[in-house]
Amino acid sequence: MISEEGMVPLSEHEQRMLDEIESALYAEDPKFASSVTKQRVGRPTARRRLVAVLGFLAGLALLVGGLMVDVEVGGLRILSFIGFLVMFGSAAFGMFGPRGAAGSAAPARGGSSKAKPGKSSLSERMEQRFQRRFEQDDH
């Protein structure tokens, strides 16, 4: 079943696995994990989408208008190039929210997010889990 946002919800097993991977990431490298979380793409607000659409349309008008008007700098149709840049910038503005807008705080985890001295690395643990599952599927 597809949710209202157009995404398929995760099963309980998949959600648990995702939580384990996320907590292991925080345990291995909390600085990296928090920087990645801060840069997460969020849903743009209605105002942000409106500005992006209007900017995109203005860029499209410049691009097409630049093809009709003969304004060249070094063989480059400068108005069309500016129109393309405006379109690209508007699309990026619409897709990416302000820094830290979505999920900027690290999730609260009970003692599992702290690294233990004798623990193996994240990649080793994931490889071991994969091998165990692969062996279980064979039997």
The span from the CA of 76 to the CA of 7, in Å, is: 43
Q: Is 82 part of a structural domain of the chain?
A: yes
Average pLDDT, stretch 37-62? 81
Domain match, 66 and 81 both: yes
Q: What angle do CA 2, 18, 121 make, to 5 degrees?
A: 160
Residue 7 has, within 13 A of its CA and on its CB side, a CA count of 4
Residue 2 inside a domain? The answer is no
Q: Are residues 27 and 57 in the same domain?
A: no
- Residue 61 counted as domain residue: yes
Number of residues that make up the chain: 139
Co-location of 83 and 71 in the same domain: yes
pLDDT score, position 121:
75
Q: 55 and 91 share a domain? A: yes
**Co-location of 52 and 63 in the same domain:** yes
Identify the residue whose tokens are 């039997």.
139
Same domain for 55 and 32: no
Average model confidence (pLDDT) across the chain = 75
Looking at the structure, tell me whether residues 84 and 46 fall in a common domain.
yes
90 lies in the same domain as 47: yes
CB atoms within 10 A of CB 61: 14
| Residues near 106 by beta carbon (within 8 Å), at least 6 away in sequence | 26, 30, 33, 34, 37
Q: How many domains does the chain have?
A: 2
Greater model confidence, 4 or 106:
4
Provide the residue range defining the domain that includes 55: 41-98
Quick: pLDDT tens for 12-40.
888 888 888 888 888 888 787 777 665 55
